Structure 1
């Protein structure tokens, strides 16, 4: 299930940057399609994360923290995209998104269920 989870958030990240690119190119119809597919991937990320979380034997508090931060990262995905589309300033939202994303990936790799590089 770990590979499915990593695949879904990696594809969501790619779709996110495609959506940003479509907005900058002025292709609103393609942007709407990519945004809907991206929202489906948000659900898949949450579903695979929940399955992984409850497949663990003893769930430590660090896994709960990672899960909460992961949901916040998904929220910041959507906030950056929405603020960009509406023409609002996105500097602070991008910064929080980047910091949270790095923290979640770090926790995912260092917790016992993660990969050892």
Structure 2
């Protein structure tokens, strides 16, 4: 009987922990109210346009409130540089490592809660 109580207690604790640590479904960057989903497409230096900004707010928790007026990412740290994509009007470029770039395509408008 004691093992049954311990088992139910562990299930309850694990359920609470998993519910309190919600995460986003995909990597993205929010710029000017639009959500850009980061793809695995590697961009060449010649496809990288002008700097449009840097990530100003970061959180990997979906339940955290975020200032609507900042450039936000759920996967890239503050200071990550973002550029125009010269190959597509509906995309931007994320510098995911020093001198290495990935395409981020527009997904939808950011919806406030």
Structure with greater proportional strand content: 2
Shorter-chain-normalised TM-score: which range?
A: under 0.3
Larger RCO: 1 or 2 (CA < 8 Å, sep 6+): 2
Structure with greater proportional helix content: 1
TM-score, normalised by the number of residues in structure 2: 0.23
Question: Larger C-alpha radius of gyration, 1 or 2?
Answer: 2
